[in-house]
Amino acid sequence: MRYVCFTLAGIAAAVLISPVAAPADAVAYKITKSVPLGAPDGWDYLFFEPQSHRVYVAHSTEITVVDGRSGELVGRVSGIDRVNGVTAIPSLHKGYTDSRGKKAAVAFSLPALKVTREIPADVDTDALIYEPVTRRVFVMNGDGMNATVIDATNDKPVATIPLQGKPEFAVVDTRGHVFVNIADKREIVDIDARKASIQARFPVPSCESPHGLAMDPDTRRLFSSCVNSLLVVVDADDGRLIAGLPIGKGTDAAAFDPKRKLVFSANAEGTLSVIRQQGPDKYDSLGEIPTRPLARTMAIDPDTGRLYLVTADVDEVNPRPAKLRERYAIRPGTVQLLFVDPS
């Protein structure tokens, strides 16, 4: 394992060099559709599968599947105890989610939308991701401070990787690596998927509780969104901090549009932060676009640029909460998938 470190002065300089924000109307996005998902009233991550154009939503006790073009409700994978992450793998005709209640990963059939197997994981299962080079699924266990590795060809556990901190979201590159935000350590870890071990740790000390994570595999840049209203750009090869950009409050997801060269942060305050990639080492903040309160998780269709966010109708119950999520109460049965399109 290699450790990559920088001086605090160097990191501070990289963050302070960030460009002045441009007007939010430099790019135009609008909500074009709201798809009712109904009860239950909780949700977390979502996944867009480009072959079928389906959106898979981790929806409390089920995976709700929506046609990402028409908005039609395709079906539900039901009876799962507290889900957080989800992915779909058409080449294997299966998907994976997790059950926090059972401390397990859950495989399900894509054609039938039925659970096929439970695989033991650890406490506090959260995000999960498929790594196509090794055909392995990596499940992030928050309070377990580790990642469960599963062979997706046979649903067998391969390894448990100690992470020495609480993992949040993860992304993969095209070279057999998995990058994971470690929320309580202010770092990103680089996992060698073949060896099922940590190759490097990249400190991001300016990033409080890194949550959302996206990647541009062409430029080898990672985009990590932080709860202190900052998005950091990190070199995926050496951990070098490239830039720090302002974002909205309550981030829980980041996304990258490879065609339009835009980076996004979805924020629970009800905004979408937009950043333009001018080059591998140059980024401009374009400000915030209004969405809906609590729309903090996100997926993107890289072809059309359409963004998908999940939220619900809410009532403000505390205008000055200690935590942003405590500001609102969800109206029962109103969970919905938003289509947000470039215009």
**pLDDT computed for residue 212 by the predictor:** 98
Q: Are 302 and 50 in contact (CB under 8 A)?
A: yes
Per-residue pLDDT at 253 exceeds 70: yes
**pLDDT computed for residue 198 by the predictor:** 98
Cis-peptide into 319, omega within 30 deg = no
**pLDDT computed for residue 239 by the predictor:** 98
Confidence grade of residue 11 (pLDDT, cut at 50, 70, 90): very low
Secondary structure E strands in 228-343:
230-235, 241-246, 251-257, 262-267, 271-279, 282-290, 298-300, 307-311, 314-316, 328-330, 336-342
Per-residue pLDDT at 201 exceeds 90: yes
Q: What are the structural domains of the chain?
A: 2-342 (2.130.10.10)
The tokens describing 75, both together, are 């079906």
Amino acid at 195: K
Residue scoring higher pLDDT (263 or 18): 263
Residue 7 CB neighbours (<10 A)? 8
Per-residue pLDDT at 10 exceeds 80: no
Confidence grade of residue 328 (pLDDT, cut at 50, 70, 90): confident
Q: What is the mean pLDDT of residues 100-122?
A: 98
**pLDDT computed for residue 321 by the predictor:** 80
Sheet holding 54-59, edge to edge: 46-49, 54-59, 62-67, 73-77
Of 146, 232, 244, residue with least CA distance to 197: 146
Backbone angles phi, psi at 185, to 5 degrees: -115, -5
Helix (H, G, I), strand (E, B) or coil at 16: helix
**pLDDT computed for residue 68 by the predictor:** 98
User: Model confidence over 280-297: pLDDT tens digits?
Assistant: 999 999 999 999 999 999
Share of the chain above pLDDT 70, in %: 92
What's the distance, CA 326 to chain centroid? 21
Q: Are 79 and 61 in contact (CB under 8 A)?
A: yes
**pLDDT computed for residue 7 by the predictor:** 34
Secondary structure E strands in 121-193:
125-131, 136-141, 146-151, 156-162, 167-172, 177-182, 187-192
User: Model confidence over 47-98: pLDDT tens digits?
Assistant: 999 999 999 999 999 999 999 999 999 999 999 999 999 999 999 999 999 9
Confidence grade of residue 214 (pLDDT, cut at 50, 70, 90): very high
**pLDDT computed for residue 226 by the predictor:** 98
Share of the chain above pLDDT 90, in %: 88
Lowest mean pLDDT among 240-244, 245-249, 317-321: 317-321
Lowest mean pLDDT among 10-24, 35-49, 195-209: 10-24
